[in-house]
Structure 1
Amino acid sequence: MTSNVSKSRDTQSFNYIIRSGLAGGVAGCVAKTVVAPLDRVKILFQASNPDFQKYAGSWSGAFRAGSELYKEGGLRGLFQGHSATLFRIFPYAAIKFMAYDQVHHALMPTREQETNLRRFLAGAISGTMSVFCTYPLDVIRVRMAFQTKASGSNSSAPPTFTQAYKQIYNECTIVTQPHNAQPAVQSRHYIDRFPILKFYRGFFVTIVGMIPYAGVSFLSWGFLRSHFLPPSKVGHNPPTPIADLTIGAVSGVIAQTASYPFEIVRRRMQVGGITRPDRWLGLAETVSAVWRSGGWKGFYVGLSIGYLKVVPMTAVSFTVWQSGKRLLNV
């Protein structure tokens, strides 16, 4: 009993929380760096960049798109927007994994209390908290990765972090509408009075999509570890990096499949200021546009490259997180 109380106090201490967040932040940065070129290609496919739609829909197309990016800008072209990614991903991953540790302990203080529902809730809550805190950085990152030499920019150079920020901040969202669309005009006036809202394009659908993604990801992670690495086998011999990589990869595949349609809609809304600078694209309008352009398959454009990215990213993320926790004695 005394041991459990002592453990509870330790997991809720400031020192423990900082170490847990540090392990998660580093894990996120390493994982994102590993898949940065694939991430940029996926964004171009998801957001329907006109220069790269001819490559969408196949594994070979993803590699051809990557080759064109490399010819266009070398390694810099493959990693365009990655500085913003790292700037966003460290606090995002730190908050997500740190929150997961805390929520997991609150909902499941003992192994006997671990259930699939509680694992799902712990993942969904931690993912939602991280998005609330870092979403504007994600919008800036997507804008940096989306623009190519011929897509929506008068300059041949891709936007820097500062330029992307200013572009979003200065976008005008007021347009002339028919009289029967007055509520839409009023909402645009409201958005222009509060420019910070422009950095939250697609925020609602992101939160909706984050619940199944983070929830299923941590649910799969916890379930697979409990099934294949029960306490009697773990003991004083922690799971090997290979075990962490394998379980993380499977978790990533399951989570990506469950949440991908939400990601498609989110990307379309995030680049709305470029593709439709005269309009504020709403959720219903974006969903309709995706459906008209490709039917139900339109919600899975780029999924193959999504797997190609998510599998190593999730595997590396969970593995580095666990390794960091062991190193920091979390």
Structure 2
Amino acid sequence: MSAAAPQHAGSDKQPRSVPPHESQEMTRASSSSSSADEHPPVLAAFGPSDHASVVPLGTSQKTIPKQSWEYAARSGVAGGVAACAAKTVVAPLDRVKILFQASNPQFQKYTGSWTGALRAIADIYRQDNVRGLFRGHSATLLRIFPYGGIKFLAYEQIRAVVIRGKEQETPGRRFMAGAASGCASVFATYPLEVIRVRLAWETKGKTQLTVRDICHTIYNEHPPAPRPPSAASLQADAHVPRSVATALSASSTALSTVTLRSGLSNFFRGFTPTLWGMLPYAGTSFLTHDMAGDFMRQPSLAPHTVLPMSERSQKQLAPNKPPPLRAWAELITGALAGFVSQTASYPLEVVRRRMQVGGVVGDGHRLTMVEVARDIMRDRGYRGFFVGLGIGYVKVVPMVATSFYVYERMKVWFGI
């Protein structure tokens, strides 16, 4: 520092001579200025700066490990709140879609046109007012809070295990994490889904059915036993040897005898297609959302889509987190996720709805996935698997957009 001072003073030399005391003052001033340039944090500690208004200095934001119980609890509650908000936004459309999918006789005349959903909503409102549009919504919220909580919680935990770094951020791993989280949520909440569908399917306005009434009805339904295939039919249709056909027929008869066809098993109608449908639905939903988020954060789009530093809260400035998107950009990523996931899983969703209302449609026979698919194909062709898809888009796109948006904002609020 002593060598730097004379050079700095010498840069402003004047023709006159400099007294010794002035030279010492200039040396001290130069040393102080040079020290300030080399150690800027010293000044920042004593007073505010322009940088402090953008990035808060000295923040003590606690980092919560992803594998901790606290993180799991907070992400679960955030997911549950997000799911409830999303379902409430689209509750009337959800009920109309169920009526279309389950082929409710009273509403078949409205299917096949874009205005059919609006006319169906008007019909329901005319009969039961606003309450009719939200019939079954209480059961929906009872199911959707744990469903959404478990789904987002499981996704965060599975993702932390499957994707440990940037090099593992592959579409396959993202799809696998989303599909596994969806299956976990289905296992935990499926009976509540059956109750919700049955409440929404009922259209008789004279008697107000409660959740307890629906549960009692479902529990006491006794669908006819399926007819096991005979050995002769297996030989003729499947072209299997006689010994194998006899064994298959005997085992089918035994399984039919011991399989429960009433009681608690009634609450799991349509479980198999639900599980199969959840794989493409949840997998493509999380995959599309993450990929759309990466696209929105590209350098060329970031100035328009990413929230500026000056508008972020302290919790949004935590390290090792992707920069938060603006509200409209986050809603678009969620909408894309809803569109893709709905398209990929809709045929299985139609099959599932038909199985769930099996106790009140036809003779009450508990149909298998293959039987339901065959009936749909026979009655309406391949288009029967996409009945209500238009209203499905109208419902799912804003629902998933709201879900992801609220979840991301709840994560910020919870500091995770």
TM-score, with length taken from structure 1: 0.91
C-alpha distance in structure 1 between counterparts of 2:399 and 2:82, whole Å? 10
1:225 aligns with 2:293: yes
1:69 aligns with 2:124: yes
SS of structure 2 residue aligned to 1:10 = coil
SS of structure 2 residue aligned to 1:65 = helix
SS of structure 1 residue aligned to 2:222 = coil
C-alpha distance in structure 1 between counterparts of 2:251 and 2:269, whole Å? 18
Aligned position for 2:216? 166
Moved more, 224-233 or 312-321: 224-233
1:264 aligns with 2:350: yes
Residue 138 of structure 1 aligns with an amino acid whose one-letter code is E
C-alpha distance in structure 1 between counterparts of 2:339 and 2:226, whole Å? 44
1:126 aligns with 2:181: yes
Moved more, 108-117 or 293-302: 108-117
Contact 1:28 1:89 in 2 (8 A): yes
Offset from partner CA, 1:291-317 (integer Å, 9 cap, x none): 111100000000000000001100000
Moved more, 224-233 or 269-278: 224-233
C-alpha distance in structure 2 between counterparts of 1:85 and 1:158, whole Å? 17
- Structure ranking higher on relative contact order (CA contacts 8 Å, 6+ apart): 1
Larger Rg: 2
**Could you say if the C-alpha distance between residues 63 and 183 of structure 1 is closer, same or farther in structure 2, counting changes exceeding 3 Å?**
farther
Moved more, 107-116 or 187-196: 187-196
C-alpha distance in structure 2 between counterparts of 1:94 and 1:178, whole Å? 41
1:288 aligns with 2:374: yes
- Per the TM alignment, residue 191 of structure 1 is displaced from its structure 2 partner at its CA by 4.1
1:227-266 to 2 correspondence within 5 Å? 227-230=295-298, 233=302, 236=317, 238-266=324-352
- Share of identical aligned residues, percent? 50
- Of the three residues 30, 37, 47, the one matched with 2:85 is 30
C-alpha distance in structure 1 between counterparts of 2:400 and 2:227, whole Å? 45
Residue 98 of structure 2 aligns with an amino acid whose one-letter code is I
1:93 aligns with 2:143: no
Offset from partner CA, 1:244-285 (integer Å, 9 cap, x none): 111100110011001100000000000000003441111111
- Per the TM alignment, residue 198 of structure 1 is displaced from its structure 2 partner at its CA by 1.1
Offset from partner CA, 1:10-57 (integer Å, 9 cap, x none): 111111100000100000000000000000000000000000011012
**Could you say if the C-alpha distance between residues 102 and 68 of structure 1 is closer, same or farther in structure 2, counting changes exceeding 3 Å?**
same
Q: Where in structure 2 are there 5+ consecutive unaligned residues?
A: 1-61, 231-248, 310-316, 318-322
Number of aligned residue pairs: 319
C-alpha distance in structure 1 between counterparts of 2:116 and 2:377, whole Å? 22
SS of structure 2 residue aligned to 1:51 = helix
1:116 aligns with 2:202: no
1:214 aligns with 2:282: yes
Q: Which has the higher helix share?
A: 1
C-alpha distance in structure 1 between counterparts of 2:255 and 2:269, whole Å? 13
C-alpha distance in structure 2 between counterparts of 1:194 and 1:279, whole Å? 12
Aligned position for 2:387? 301
- Of the three residues 130, 136, 159, the one matched with 1:104 is 159
- Per the TM alignment, residue 185 of structure 1 is displaced from its structure 2 partner at its CA by 6.6
C-alpha distance in structure 1 between counterparts of 2:251 and 2:168, whole Å? 49
- Per the TM alignment, residue 240 of structure 1 is displaced from its structure 2 partner at its CA by 1.6
- Per the TM alignment, residue 189 of structure 1 is displaced from its structure 2 partner at its CA by 4.6
Residue 83 of structure 2 aligns with an amino acid whose one-letter code is G
**Could you say if the C-alpha distance between residues 192 and 242 of structure 1 is closer, same or farther in structure 2, counting changes exceeding 3 Å?**
same
Contact 1:191 1:198 in 2 (8 A): no
- Per the TM alignment, residue 174 of structure 1 is displaced from its structure 2 partner at its CA by 3.3
- Of the three residues 266, 269, 282, the one matched with 1:201 is 269
C-alpha distance in structure 1 between counterparts of 2:278 and 2:229, whole Å? 37
C-alpha distance in structure 2 between counterparts of 1:124 and 1:161, whole Å? 30
Q: Where in structure 1 are there 5+ consecutive unaligned residues?
A: 1-5, 150-154
- Per the TM alignment, residue 94 of structure 1 is displaced from its structure 2 partner at its CA by 0.1
C-alpha distance in structure 1 between counterparts of 2:163 and 2:227, whole Å? 53
Residue 219 of structure 2 aligns with an amino acid whose one-letter code is Y
